[in-house]
Structure 1
């Protein structure tokens, strides 16, 4: 399942916005990224998509289910009504009809909202949303192992504040539970950690806990056949869904491995980082947030695709606001590539403030938003971060005051105003580090100019 196109009328800052999402005819990527200043409308687009998609997940659960309405505060200030129209391509053919026409793969529905006391200017039409949901319901009726598409929205409010290991509420983790809280306005990942704990408890009942294996290893290693059989038996008892989560986290963060719950010396969640076992609470906020985000996507895919040999190959739509949140620049560089490699059949719609996110992935589709308008950017692949900051994000690569002083210095050198240049250089030398690259360059240029004038 993929979003082909979205049309916003009087939503957020957008009087009329019609935009296509990757993959498109000219862009094979599964990633669309929106960039722009704060308040440009990036989050409004993601929330509009989440609102529209909530009606599909609601009607997949029950035939007359209701999704989220357009909030009145989301209506353009100068307008009395707003609408969201979305076009979906479902190429996985939920009806199981191999003779399905190309036109039958597309589903379009619209959602409308008027201010209180105002006459309705748009009408909602959810017929095709209901039809698409019914195709999946019919497929589930025939085969309860039918794969379902992931639909998830991760807003900015996704900080991992704590890791709950005492499960206070008994949850169900059935297939449709993969949609629980997947489109809410705020995620704390409690459900992910609770789910992990419950699944691992069940896994340990059918397999051999890691701490027991570590105790048996020195005893049985002398008998390689017995040790191999024991490992094979234990591997067969591994929980398939937990394996998907552990695999996804390790692919995304190769220095992290073997997420698990430990019960000694006290109950805690542990992970191996560069070969050293740590309490997950010891990780940085960025590490915890990325681990929880990737783990939650993998968890939902595993729940929604019970028959897939590799649940990470499940399809779906994932919306992530400020995807670079809390991440080190080196992780920002590889983010898009790792999303595509780890979840190859998911469509991602992202927002970012980082030039590194859009300059290190070859085919990513990038839109910049300004004053309620959008513009598709040419590929930024291979561009240095400073160029992206200047050309795309309209941001100076250094402090504007220092930048102006450096330009004055270079102009003075160029115009052979050596006394003025020396004075500017001395001032900047007091303010900037001794190894400042532009300052070193200016100093060399000034020295050359002085030698040239001395020879004349």
Structure 2
């Protein structure tokens, strides 16, 4: 499952928004309060219907207060989120202002959830109940609170086993917790250690843990040997030959590493039957993907995530010019074709097809496409947005030169 289109009606500050979603990447740029996060929240509410229909997990829905748009201190009759997938599956969720006849009359006829639930029954639930093989599409939402990692201080109360659907537990809550990933890693590492003792070989590994290790190594080439230590209880990694507690790392490391571990853990848990669970389909939303990252990391975070999770659809917001302008390099690389150019830096770039990417500037909950139809690149409308500081510098430089000339 991959998303193709989002519609928001009367959602928070948004009157009406239709947004086409890229099959691999959608980037939303804008100032604070422009509506970027509301788009992610709306998608999460729409996808919440998926989790709610599946057994043992529950998805988010509209808040009791605050999601219905207000204008001139009057609430709109309804709020609506509608999603359409690339396969043509469509559904919506509607919350009315009240139960009056006037409100009901002002509310459009819903698509409802019938087609979505029928799809989930056939693709997941019926196969799960009959013991057939099935692939579970992962969904996850990482808000800005991901910078605050929650690591348990003791092992008391740890569950001993995990089910596939646990991969979706609290997956769409932007206030993501690292605790579940930590517990899963702890249990899987113990399972792997038991297998190694039984077979008397350290070469025995679990595919799910290998997926996490692979993901970490792909995004962080300088990090190796992620493992749990118990005295004290902590997740440790090796950087430049030194073993460090995850909580000792910088905010940039913690923020991105926590996301990579959590996502790869969920993908391994969701589809353990795959040779490489990281290749499963997933829909992942990331608010402020540049959060706490050094500019050099901001320039490669898109490629690192897309390369590590090759069938994941990423929908992300950013304030960073490095993230957005780097997108042009990936789009341009695709135009050069798959062959070698003889330039090491260019050949190392991940090609991104224009058909797979969408980029928008958000302002007052309205979208403005950033990719020029003729060039297939992010156009120069970004330059005024990013270059105010540079223009001020140029004006001061001109004044300085004029003073010298005088």
TM-score interval, smaller chain: 0.7 to 0.9
Provide the C-alpha distance between the structure 2 equivalents of 1:66 and 1:199, rounded to a whole number of angstroms. 24
- SS of 2:121's equivalent in the other structure is helix
Deviates more, 1:200-209 or 1:123-132: 200-209
Structure 1 residues 334 and 382: CA distance shift in structure 2, 3 A: farther
CA pair 343-396 structure 1, distance change in 2 beyond 3 A? same
1:147–1:276 Cα change, 3 Å: same
Query: In 2, Cα distance between the equivalents of 1:381 and 1:164?
Result: 47
CA distance in 2 between counterparts of 1:407 and 1:193 reads 56
How far apart are residue 156 of structure 1 and its match?
A: 1.3
Matches within 5 A, 1:21-420: 21-23=21-23, 30-61=24-55, 67-71=59-63, 72-78=65-71, 79-89=76-86, 105-116=87-98, 119-120=103-104, 121-124=107-110, 125-135=112-122, 136-171=124-159, 172-207=161-196, 233-236=201-204, 238-263=205-230, 266-361=232-327, 362=330, 363=352, 364-378=357-371, 390-391=383-384, 393=385, 396-398=388-390, 400=392, 404-409=395-400, 413=402
**Structure 2 match to 1:439:** none
Q: How far off its partner does 1:407 sit?
A: 4.1
Kindly provide the CA deviation profile for residues 66-98 of structure 1, in whole angstroms up to 9, marking residues without a partner as x: 743322412221223111110013xxxxxxxxx
Secondary structure of 1:250's partner?
helix
Tell me by how many angstroms 1:373 deviates.
1.7
1:263: how far off? 4.2
Alpha-carbon distance in 1 for matches of 2:91, 2:273: 30
Larger RCO of the pair (alpha carbons < 8 Å, separation 6+): 2
Q: Which residue of structure 1 aligns with residue 6 of structure 2?
A: 6
SS of the counterpart of 1:158? helix
Aligned partners of 2:381 and 2:151: how far apart in 1? 37
Shift, 1:194, TM fit? 1.7
Distance between the aligned counterparts of 1:9 and 1:43, measured in 2? 15
Deviation per CA, 1:330-350: give whole Å up to 9, x if none: 111111111111000110100
Question: What's the secondary structure of 1:182's corresponding residue?
Answer: coil
Give the Cα–Cα distance (whole angstroms) in 2 for the partners of residues 206 and 288 of structure 1: 30
Query: What is the SS of the residue equivalent to 1:19?
Result: strand
Q: Residue by residue, what CA displacement relative to the aligned partner does 1:362-385 show, whole Å, maximum 9, x if unpaired?
A: 24421111123211112699989x
Unaligned runs of 5+ residues in structure 2 are 331-351
Change (3 A) 1:299 1:66: closer
State how far apart, in whole Å, the 2-side matches of 1:250 and 1:180 are: 26
- TM-score (normalizing by structure 2): 0.82
Q: Is the Cα–Cα contact under 8 Å of residues 165 and 197 in structure 1 kept in the other structure?
A: no
Higher alpha-carbon Rg: 1
Deviation at 1:280, TM superposition (A): 2.0
User: Does the C-alpha gap of structure 1 residues 381 and 329 become closer, same or farther in structure 2, counting only changes over 3 Å?
Assistant: farther
The equivalent residue for 2:15 is 15
Take 1:299 and 1:166, find their aligned partners in 2: how far apart are those partners?
Answer: 20
TM superposition shift of 1:190: 1.3
Query: Are the aligned partners of 2:167 and 2:267 in contact in 1 as well (CA < 8 Å)?
Result: yes
Displacement of 1:269 in angstroms is: 2.3
| Residue correspondences, number | 365
Between the aligned partners of 1:306 and 1:383, the Cα distance in structure 2 is: 38
- Distance in 2 (CA, whole Å) between partners of 1:198 and 1:399 is 55
Aligned to 1:100: none
Give the Cα–Cα distance (whole angstroms) in 2 for the partners of residues 328 and 290 of structure 1.
Answer: 11
Query: How far apart, CA to CA, are the structure 1 residues paired with 2:208 and 2:227?
Result: 13
Query: C-alpha offsets along residues 149-192 of structure 1, whole Å, 9 cap, x if unaligned?
Result: 00111111112345325123333421011111101131131111
What residue ranges of structure 1 are gaps of 5+ in the alignment?
Answer: 24-29, 90-104, 210-228, 414-420, 423-445, 451-456
3-state secondary structure, aligned to 1:49 = helix
Query: Is the 2:150–2:178 contact (alpha carbons within 8 Å) kept by the matching residues of 1?
Result: no
Q: How far does residue 316 in structure 1 lie from its aligned partner after superposition?
A: 1.3
